[in-house]
């Protein structure tokens, strides 16, 4: 059975299955229509193996604006020269420390990889003093990475801006701080907002796919607040729930009250682990698009 068939069958189910099938319908419309496509990425998705899914979407033209966390970019850079190790979540973390291993649930990163990361980063940090905008800063990093599977490199190649509003909250930030001990290097904390607002103003119709919540979700959604526009299509995949009240688990309906998402928007939340649901959703949607194209080509 193909993934798109499975997801289509889920239309007649309840609970999460129905939500996933609705998400596939919305994502198909988003990717095949004239939408400005936002994609937000929170949670340790790159260590968990979602890097190729995201960079693949960028290279296929399915992401116009990426908003993510510093950690995902750090691990994107590490994957340029090494691979995250598959580990065990139930283990002595004190022993891991002794062995020079840092754990991200069931994924390990060795100290040697962080050392290589630091060397690489010191080589590719912008020469000039700045102030750079965040997206400029990340374009400079991406332009110097040589791995075509890299998210940052793919974004550079495809001219997709990468927003990382909490850049200092990452090892990239710590390395920038280190560089500043011996030279000038600055990023303007509000510098990105011009580019983002311009995109939001310019969009006719906007769609957004949100993986996890956090700063990426809020930053992308709030960007519409200073424009007359709002999102017309919205999908989120999250393990958070609405009841604790935080934005990460907030319903997309709540965003309607703020004017971030249109009252007429098609929107759905898939509650579940994005490492399962994102690949399944992307695989099903891309297969549908390919079948459609094959259908058009053969004159159907």
Structure tokens at 170: 């990452």
214 binds a copy of itself (CB under 8 A): yes
Residue 228 interacts with a copy of itself (CB under 8 A): yes or no: no
Which residues within the stretch 6-25 sit at the binding site for a copy of itself (CB under 8 A)? 6, 9-10, 12-18, 20
Q: Is 169 in the site for a copy of itself (CB under 8 A)?
A: yes
Query: What is the residue whose two structure tokens read 């940052």?
Result: 152
- Nearer residue to a copy of itself within complex by CB, 143 or 194: 194
Cβ distance 49 to 222 under 8 Å? no
Q: How far apart are CA 173 and CA 150, in angstroms?
A: 19
Residues in a beta bridge with 55: none
Given candidates 1, 296, 297, 299, which one binds a copy of itself under the rule CB under 8 A? 1
CB of 288 to a copy of itself, least distance (A): 11
Task: Give, as ranges, the residues between 91 and 130 that touch a copy of itself (CB under 8 A).
Answer: 93-94, 96-97, 101-107
The 8-class DSSP code of residue 131 comes to P
| Residue 122: CB minimum distance to a copy of itself, A | 14
Q: Does 167 bind a copy of itself (CB under 8 A)?
A: yes
What is the rounded CA–CA span in Å between residue 260 and residue 100?
A: 44
Stretch that binds a copy of itself, among 32-40, 57-65, 201-209, 256-264 (CB under 8 A): 256-264
Interaction between residue 66 and a copy of itself (CB under 8 A): no
CA atoms of 45 and 239, how far apart (whole Å) = 13
Q: Please pick, among 37, 217, 260, 266, the residue that the annotation labels catalytic.
A: 260
Distance CA 104, CA 57 (A): 25
Task: Identify whether 260 is a catalytic site residue.
Answer: yes
Q: How far apart are CA 8 and CA 104, in angstroms?
A: 34
Nearest alpha-carbon partner for 48 in 213, 248, 275, 286: 275
- Binding to a copy of itself by residue 151, rule CB under 8 A? no
Q: Which of residues 37-56 bind a copy of itself (CB under 8 A)?
A: 42-44, 47-50
Question: Which one, 157 or 179, has the nearer CB to a copy of itself?
Answer: 179
Report d(CA 293, CA 111) in Å as an integer: 47
Active site residues: 260
């Amino acid at each position: 059975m193909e993934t798109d068939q499975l997801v289509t069958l889920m239309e007649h189910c309840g609970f999460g299955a129905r939500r996933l099938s609705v998400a596939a319908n919305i994502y198909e419309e988003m990717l095949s229509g004239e939408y400005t496509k936002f994609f937000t990425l929170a949670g340790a998705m790159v260590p968990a193996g979602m890097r190729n899914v995201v960079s693949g979407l960028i290279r296929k033209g399915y992401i116009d604006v990426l908003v993510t966390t510093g950690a995902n970019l750090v691990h994107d850079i590490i994957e340029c020269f090494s691979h995250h190790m598959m580990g065990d979540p139930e283990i002595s973390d004190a022993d891991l420390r002794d062995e020079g291993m840092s754990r991200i649930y069931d994924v390990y990163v060795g100290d040697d990889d962080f050392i290589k990361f630091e060397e690489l980063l010191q080589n590719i940090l912008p020469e000039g003093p700045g102030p750079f905008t965040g997206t400029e800063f990340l374009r400079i990093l991406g332009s110097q990475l040589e791995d075509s599977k890299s998210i940052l490199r793919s974004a550079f190649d495809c001219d997709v801006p990468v927003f990382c509003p909490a850049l200092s909250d990452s090892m990239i930030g710590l390395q920038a701080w280190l560089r500043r001990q011996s030279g000038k290097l600055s990023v303007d904390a509000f510098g990105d907002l011009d580019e983002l607002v311009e995109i939001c103003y310019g969009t006719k119709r906007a769609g957004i796919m949100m993986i996890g919540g956090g700063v990426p979700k809020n930053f992308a959604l709030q960007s519409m607040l200073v424009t007359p526009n709002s999102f017309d299509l919205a999908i989120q995949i999250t393990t958070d729930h609405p009841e604790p009240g935080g934005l990460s688990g907030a319903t997309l309906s709540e965003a309607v009250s703020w004017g971030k998402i249109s009252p007429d928007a098609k929107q759905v939340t898939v509650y579940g682990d994005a490492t399962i649901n994102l690949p399944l959703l992307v695989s099903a949607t891309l297969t549908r698009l390919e079948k459609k194209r094959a259908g058009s080509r053969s004159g159907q």
